[in-house]
Amino acid sequence: MRVLLSCLFSFIFASTLWSIGSSALTLDGLTLLEIKSTLNDSKNFLGNWQATDENPCNWTGISCYPNDHRVRSINLPYMQLGGIISPSIGKLKGLQRLALHQNNLHGQIPNELTNCTELRALYLRNNYLQGGIPSNFGNLTFLTILDLSSNLLKGAIPSSIGHLTRLHYLNLSTNFFSGEILDIGVLSTFRNNSFIGNLDLCGQQVNKPCQTSLGFPAVLPHAESDEVAVPTKRSSHYIKGVMIGAMLTMVLVLVMLLAFLWIYLLSKKERAVKRYTEVKKQLNHDTSKLVYLSKFGFRINTCLLIMFIFVGTKLITFHGDLPYPSCEIIEKLESLDEEDVVGSGGFGTVYRMVMNDCQTFAVKRIDRSREGSDQVFERELEILGSIKHINLVNMRGYCRFPASKLLIYDYLAMGSLDDFLHECKEEGRLLNWSARLKIALGSARGLAYLHHDCCPKIVHRDIKSSNILLDENLEPHVSDFGLAQLLVDEDAHVTTVVAGTFGYLAPEYLQSGIASEKTDVYSFGVLLLELVTGKRPTDPTFAKRGLNVVGWTNTLLRENRLEDIVDKGCTDAIMETVEAILEIAAKCTDANPDERPTMCQVLQLLEQEVMSPYPSDYESHSDYC
């Protein structure tokens, strides 16, 4: 009897241990709980992260590998999470995507993150992260997307990033990085857009040469160079002689520099006094002789900057983004004529301006005679002077002439998305599917920034393919803020003048003239359909049937004719992602504006559905079909 009871007890004990062991949380699940412990989840979004679960695969924001339940991606953007990123993140060896953007995280980027050697995409933008980028980021050899923008990061950009050969998207803008951006590896392929807002960076990528403390270009020899080899055996007398000679040379050079500086300042003062006397004499004699009419109002002697005050000319640049003498800028602006016209917008003509060093800018002229243009100009000045984002056209400065006002922007030589989709087909420059996805995602980032990160919020009111400009890497930049409307009060969305382009406008906007963020979302949904179909919103093939691109697409979807929707010129489209884009576009173009997502949600959908979990699937060696 005792033997029987003993066997029964042993069986029950073993069964209990087996059941406990079988229901224990996986190691990756335990790691996630460690990460959660360092986060401040004020909205309880992570409430279903429970230690009693067998695995974390059904937890909020977590996806796993199907075979072993290891964590593959963490997607927790826009959740108002505070706290720090736990060093335990490095234990997730199979992690391919980490998206913690648009939260309130602080502290440093843990060095242990570089242990996640399978990582493909890292999104940490719009937090309050401090410190620098871990120097061993080069360990993340599979990394294709790195977005650390809009944080408080500082220090140098590690050279190890240049060794990430698969990296095709880099955004370090709006931080406090400093020093030289090394021209090595993949780092040499990125341009100023990846580093906007870091005023202390220098290098060829940001078109700013690095300088020594004396203002000369820094040319530092490499340690391996034979030119810096130092003789090992020299007499003490020889060394002393070299040191004394060097010191005497430095003193002589310093004296000469001071002498030249003194002479220059005296001559400059004399020239200024003489110039002021001449200007004053001319003004007293006949002010009208100082100016004469030109296409921008009045032409003046551009080297006499003191005259600008008297004749109403004013030049302002933002953040030192226009490093040229004022007289050169004014001279170039005055010399623009019809041969320099590259386009015409709703509020003025756009010119191409080439400086003496061959740097090119776009200049938008706003006529003072146009009704409301003064107010539009002042609004653009206030908004664009403070906005810096990788997917928005950068405003460099403005110039006010007596009869016109000019806005100076970056010049994007590849033209607009409208050109590529509709004008360049005859030239064989067709956008492939990878490029279209990149344009959709970048445009969404720019528009979401206007809606959710600017204070007050900005409604664009004219989202269309001709207002999406492309750089040499086909990175999109949202342009034309002539119609931007500041929303001081979320409940006061009242603008009674309908602006925009027919075919892109939301139904309620056409009826009421009231613009809101949701009308921009509708226009963006039409833009997505334009990217998929390759057709303008009012293409004649369906406009004559009384349809626009929204109605035409919905009709074909109901008839299960997905292949007929996709642009015939884009032969590499992936049907799974086409369906995902069309689903997002359908949500954006919902007839009920309350049912449409915000641009924040649209961006999240695009990032999750299109770029996750395998962003490398959408890489291409060419941006053209």
Q: Would 23-206 and 417-618 be classified into the same CATH topology?
A: no
- 558 vs 280, residue with greater confidence: 558
Average pLDDT, the chain: 77
557: alpha, beta or left? (left if phi > 0; alpha if psi -120 to 50): alpha
Architecture of the domain made up of 417-618: Orthogonal Bundle (1.10)
Please tell me whether 36 is known to bind a ligand: no
Look at the pTM and tell me if it is higher than 0.75: no
- What pLDDT does residue 212 have? 56
8-state DSSP, 9: H
pLDDT recorded at residue 266: 67
pLDDT value at position 525? 96
Confidence band (pLDDT; 50, 70, 90) for 428? low
Q: Please give the Cα distance from 416 to 418 (Å, whole number).
A: 5
Give the C-alpha separation, 56 to 27, whole Å: 10
pLDDT on residue 484: 46
Phi, psi values for residue 340, rounded to 5°: -95, 0
Q: For residues 417 and 350, give the distance between their C-alpha atoms in angstroms, rounded to a whole number.
A: 17
Quote the tokens at residue 448. 């979401």
Active site residue 462: yes
How many other CB atoms are found less than 10 A from the CB of residue 134? Answer: 18
CATH number for the segment(s) 294-410 = 3.30.200.20
Tokens of 130: 């401090």
Condensed to tens digits (0 to 9), the pLDDT of residues 95-152 reads: 999 999 989 899 999 999 999 999 999 999 989 899 999 999 989 999 999 999 989 9
Helix or strand holding residue 468 (H, E)? strand 468-470
Phi-psi domain of 40 (left: phi exceeds 0; alpha: psi -120 through 50; beta: other): beta
Per-residue model confidence (pLDDT) at position 469:
92
Q: Is the pLDDT of residue 269 over 60?
A: no
**Residue-wise pLDDT tens digits, 336-369:** 888 888 877 666 788 999 988 888 898 888 754 4
Domain boundaries defined on the chain: 23-206, 294-410, 417-618
Give the Cα separation of 557 and 565 in Å (integer).
8
68-77, 206-215, 399-408: which is most confident: 68-77
Q: What is the pLDDT of residue 384?
A: 66
Q: How confident is the model at residue 487 (pLDDT cuts 50, 70, 90)?
A: very low
Q: Of 109 and 415, which is predicted with more confidence?
A: 109
What CATH homologous superfamily does 23-206 map to?
A: Ribonuclease Inhibitor (3.80.10.10)
Statement: residue 236 has pLDDT above 70 = no
Query: H or E element: which one contains 64?
Result: strand 62-64
pLDDT in tens, 167-204: 999 999 989 999 999 999 999 999 888 998 888 899 99
Active-site residue, selected from the candidate residues 28, 462, 480, 520 = 462
